[in-house]
Structure 1
């Protein structure tokens, strides 16, 4: 009886070790991945992109169990404007009114909890750090066959980006929405 318990305990430990070692970290190819942004305002919107500096997704078998990413905020780029107006908006997004990229050249996203929603689809709660301020975000991600896609809604006021926010004194006809959208496509 003692030997049977010892064997069962050894089997549980061995299986636990196998499960722990089954995790694999897959580096994201930053050059083939995309982070697109969309910001809306009264009477219009602007869109663009920002470069992923590095990132990784962690899997246990085929199940997504973790992830972390660094974004190069100095690369923020407007794609719906050209010439002088593009230069002005890009410069404004990089200054202290928005992302203060000289002081904070990167932003990070670190997965904290992941729940399976359906096959290859997960609900993630992550810590997003912008301008040195960390706040949680929750979003769905689909990871399958070397590609992961997500749409993340970010409330910029949680990161002390209050310029032209109607909740912080902007005139209604000059207001910029507090939330902006990130459409992320990761190749791993």
Structure 2
């Protein structure tokens, strides 16, 4: 009887550790990059400097995770001030009218060891569409610096910018497909 109570207590403690835990992005250990093709000749890479994300999960393997992400459009950076200004203008993102890009997951599906497909709603330029992204859960551990639980993720995918009304230039000038990849460490809140 005593062993059963101890075992039950251990199981409850394990469950309590992951009972709807919220994980917050460590912005110092995160990035969000994108790439498009210019004039069908070269890739142009960029990033968003200002973004945030949270994860909610009750399982240690994050197989029931819910993701919530927001990027500030005005933080777009392609290492070219003139191009960045054009991207922020009404010709592309229209940062003044649509200041954020957001993603809220609706479903997560296992796709191999540590790999998932994450479906959700992406909102950009005032348009919301369902997308499915590739997710890699890179692992979790206790940080030697902070002594707190941390977990690492990488998300990637390709979207069609014109599906969201971004940019009126033809695909021969700027590709319709935009590849992106985000990496980040999350700390348990």
TM-score by length of 1: 0.77
Aligned to 1:4: none
SS in 1 for 2:121: strand
Q: Quote how far apart the aligned CAs of 1:183 are.
A: 0.9
Whole-Å separation in 2 of the counterparts to 1:176 and 1:115 = 32
Flag structure 1 segments of 5+ consecutive residues without an equivalent.
1-14, 80-85, 167-171
Deviations for 1:33-81, whole angstroms, at most 9, x for unmatched residues? 10011111211121111034321112222232211011011100003xx
| Aligned partners of 2:29 and 2:185 also within 8 Å | yes
SS in 2 for 1:177: coil
| Aligned partners of 1:39 and 1:46 also within 8 Å | yes
| Aligned partners of 2:152 and 2:185 also within 8 Å | yes
Aligned to 1:70: 70
Flag structure 2 segments of 5+ consecutive residues without an equivalent.
1-11, 141-150
SS in 1 for 2:86: helix
Correspondence 1:151 to 2:149: no
Greater helix share, structure number = 1
Aligned to 1:38: 35
Q: Quote how far apart the aligned CAs of 1:107 are.
A: 0.8
Aligned to 1:160: 165
Aligned to 1:126: 120
| Aligned partners of 1:74 and 1:94 also within 8 Å | yes
- Of 51-60 and 110-119, deviating more is 51-60
Deviations for 1:93-121, whole angstroms, at most 9, x for unmatched residues? 11011101111111101111100112221
Whole-Å separation in 2 of the counterparts to 1:135 and 1:95 = 22
SS in 2 for 1:74: helix
Count of matched residue positions in the alignment of Structure 1 and Structure 2: 158
Aligned to 1:102: 96
Whole-Å separation in 2 of the counterparts to 1:57 and 1:138 = 17
TM-score by length of 2: 0.77
Larger RCO (CA under 8 A, 6+ residues apart)? 2
